Amino acid sequence: MDRESTYQPSAYNSQIPRDLPKGKSPDERGGYFTRTAYGTPLPLPGAQCREYIAEAQCDVFDLEKIQNNGSDEKKCRYMRNPHLMDFWPTLFEWPVMASTLCYVAGWFCFGGGLSVTVLLFLMGGTEELLKALPHMMPIFLFFFLSWVILMLLTRGEPKLKKDTRFYRRSGMVSIYQKDEDRLEVPFDEFDPHLTPRTGPTGSTGFLLQLVHRYSDLLIQHINVYNEEFEVYLEWERLHQFMDISQPIPDRVITEPARQFDPVTAEYDEKHDRPKHFWRDMSDEEFEIRREAARKAAKDFPWGKTRKQALASGWKPSEHRIDWQVLKEKQQTA
């Protein structure tokens, strides 16, 4: 497995950028409402923060997924080969909708059920709790059975059709088109934009959108993030994944795939990165690292390079952890 035979000539390389013409100006894209829908451009200089376990969708359950029995090849196939392709799903597909409903049912069943139980106990003690049980049980059983059924239905590799696919080895973005062949566009022709969103209840959030420089094509990430830094981090992650001058982002869920990407495998060997760095980590250490990573990502001076950030006093997550306290906790666990 070598670079020349793995990556196509069209693969994106930030160290050898293409000489691309200037794209549409904001005024050329339309009126005020069109520009507002696109959001604010993100002039970020590539992957600089790199605190990827601070991502909102990264949690301790990712550790459990890669700790399961099975070969790394099997795990990669289950994840749609994350060394080859990243993808943005759309909510309006059954596998995505089913996974969302499964999450909601599980939350209401376990999180909601526990919260209501504790609240009733605190308000009226055991007697009040026993009175409410006959009314609570049917609701609990409904959400529990829904969760079990949806868990079974969403097992295995998701069969997505309408997703947007980002291919690392070719540098192309594959976009679903109804009743037509998928459209393929070079990744480096897209610019990232941050777009505020207000929900029906008045809650606010932020979206990551990719705007094509030479057309009105727009791709929207499915997640609505609570904080702006999460959008910046998501763009960094995608940018680094597509950039073959860099290893794929060091994330928990994609650790089994690192050995199958030539640039990443070479990087890991050169830097003595353990093959199972995340897999062999305890839940306690992971949670401490994740909390430190979120603080580091939130404090990062976005728009600056990592070198500039360090010079200004920013500290990465590795320097925010009291390793002695962690060691003592692990010894007493």
Q: Identify the three-state secondary structure at position 246.
A: coil
Where do the H-state alpha helices sit in 53-212?
60-67, 72-78, 94-106, 113-153
For 203-228, how does the pLDDT look when each residue is reduced to its tens digit (9 = 90+)? Answer: 789 999 999 999 989 999 989 999 99
For residue 116, what are the CA distances in angstroms to 106, 113, 132? Answer: 15, 5, 10
Between CA 156 and CA 254 the distance in angstroms is 16
State yes or no: pLDDT of 297 exceeds 70: yes
β-bridge pairing 183-186 and 190-198: unpaired
- In eight-state DSSP terms, residue 280 is T
Helix (H) or strand (E) holding 34: helix 32-38
For position 199, what pLDDT does the model report? Answer: 67
- State yes or no: pLDDT of 193 exceeds 90: yes
Determine the pLDDT at residue 307: 96
**pLDDT digit string (tens) for 234-246?**
999 999 999 999 9
Task: Compute the distance between CA of residue 41 and CA of residue 211 in angstroms, rounded to an integer.
Answer: 9
- Token pair recorded at residue 26: 């904001």
CA 269 vs CA 83, 90, 241, 319: distances in Å: 17, 36, 18, 23
How confident is the model over 91-133, as pLDDT tens digits? 776 666 666 677 777 777 777 777 777 777 777 777 777 777 7
Position 304 pLDDT exceeds 80? yes
Antiparallel, parallel or unpaired: β 204-212 and 218-220: antiparallel
Rg for the chain, CA atoms, rounded: 22
Task: Please tell me the predicted confidence (pLDDT) of residue 312.
Answer: 96
Question: Tokens at residue 318, please?
Answer: 């590795």
The residue ranges of DSSP E strands in the chain, in sequence order, are: 40-41, 85-88, 164-167, 172-175, 183-186, 190-198, 204-212, 218-220
Cα dihedral across residues 74, 80, 86, 88: positive or negative: negative
The pLDDT of residue 295 is: 97
Q: First vs last Cα of the chain: how many Å apart?
A: 42
- For 8, phi and psi rounded to 5 degrees? -80, 160
Q: What angle do CA 206, 250, 254 make, to 5 degrees?
A: 90
- Residue 219 phi/psi, 5-degree rounding, is -115, 135
pLDDT at 301 over 90: yes
In whole angstroms, what separates CA 142 from the centre of its chain? Answer: 30
Which residue bears the tokens 């998501």?
A: 234
Name the residue with tokens 């392709």.
85
CB-count exposure of residue 306 (10 Å: 0-12, 13-18, 19+): middle
160: left (phi over 0), alpha (psi -120 to 50) or beta: beta
